[in-house]
Amino acid sequence: MVLEAINLGLITNLSLEYALVALISGLCAAYLVSHLIERSELLSAGAIASGFCLVAVFAAEMLREAPVLEALEFTLWGAGAGFLGLILSVALLEVFEVIFNLTTPLRLLELGNPAQPLLRRLMQEAPGTYNHSIMVGNLAEAAAEAVGADSLLARVGAYYHDVGKINRPEYFVENQLHMHNPHDRLNPNLSKLAIMAHVGDGVELAQRYGLPRPVVDIIKQHHGTSVLSYFYYKAKHNSVGDVNEETYRYEEDKPTSREAAIIMLADSVEAAVKAMQHPTMKKIQMLIRDIIRQKMEDGQLDRSQLTFGDLGKVADAFLVALRGVVGHRIEYPVEGKVMA
């Protein structure tokens, strides 16, 4: 911004006025676009920034003691330039996002909309996974905010992290309400293959639907090289010989960003808390600490750039976000049944 202002000053014969106009309007535009929530707000932010630009141009003309009519003429030119800039920025942003697969906050906000085709498919074809992903999104967003990571990327990445389950939703416990468990008829090795496929399937779907690279990376890394414990222990239980734990590990990349690591932790925490019989805050707190410690000791967080201090903040943020899980559960009154 400052460099652009200096540049403008240089090409306009060392004109301090124009450098100042560029600096003021640029800073104003940068501030306004940093608070956007929807793409449509880009237009209003641009209009406000143009307004500031016009006032700055008029003031600059007055400073160099130009006649009022001339000052007004320059101000009108400024208005035209502002309008053109606004149109170009809205149009070019969308073009660049698509061509270079950019991850702007606006693109992420759009991807977080449940009307997005891939999210809608997840909601319709794997509703249990969709609900799990929303919960993981809430946890991940809170934790990312606590450590100063990209909370929007964490939330949207979490929405898509298990999207690969669309291909075989019935193989995942959260979608098995009122239906038989297909794993009952499979040996643990086949179950493992069916479960682990959701990572590769998710990456493939994400690429097919044009999701940006950081979201694809989150999908690819959300299990890292963790052990699929349930089926590993089932295999050990069923087998007479030894079962190699390494053969029950996911073969993906470990999280390389704070957001991907937070989603890995939030994913495990959400599933474990959901499986708890009588959750209390104390029990949840211990569970969160256990999961983080276990992932750390297993080396899953080695490339994540999360510090010990960050992990403490992540644990606290998860606990606060999970407060709603614990509470009084009042039985729904049924006719003929006396409430105690």
Taking the complex as a whole, how short is the minimal distance between the CB of residue 263 and Fe ion, in angstroms? Answer: 8
Q: Is 204 exposed, middle or buried (0-12, 13-18, 19+ CB in 10 A)?
A: middle
- 106 vs 265 by CB, closer to Fe ion: 265
Dist CA 324 CA 340 (whole Å): 24
Examine residue 174 and tell whether it contacts Fe ion (CB under 5 A): no
Helical axes 258-274 vs 281-297, angle rounded to 10°: 130
Find out whether 259 and 214 touch, Cβ atoms under 8 Å.
yes
Task: Write the DSSP symbol of residue 278.
Answer: S
Find out whether 205 and 164 touch, Cβ atoms under 8 Å.
yes
Of 282, 189, 204, 205, give the one whose Cα is nearest residue 238. Answer: 189
Taking the complex as a whole, how short is the minimal distance between the CB of residue 213 and Fe ion, in angstroms? Answer: 19
Taking the complex as a whole, how short is the minimal distance between the CB of residue 132 and Fe ion, in angstroms? Answer: 6
Q: Which of 267, 269, 311, 322 binds Fe ion (CB under 5 A)?
A: 267
Task: Write the DSSP symbol of residue 227.
Answer: B
The site map against Fe ion for 111-150 (x = CB under 5 A) is ----------------------------------------
Of 173-181, 247-255, 264-272, 326-334, the window that binds Fe ion (rule: CB under 5 A) is 264-272
Which neighbouring-strand residues pair with 249? Answer: 227
Q: Which of 17, 61, 150, 162 binds Fe ion (CB under 5 A)?
A: 162
Taking the complex as a whole, how short is the minimal distance between the CB of residue 48 and Fe ion, in angstroms? Answer: 41
* Residues found near Fe ion in the complex (CB under 5 A): 162, 267
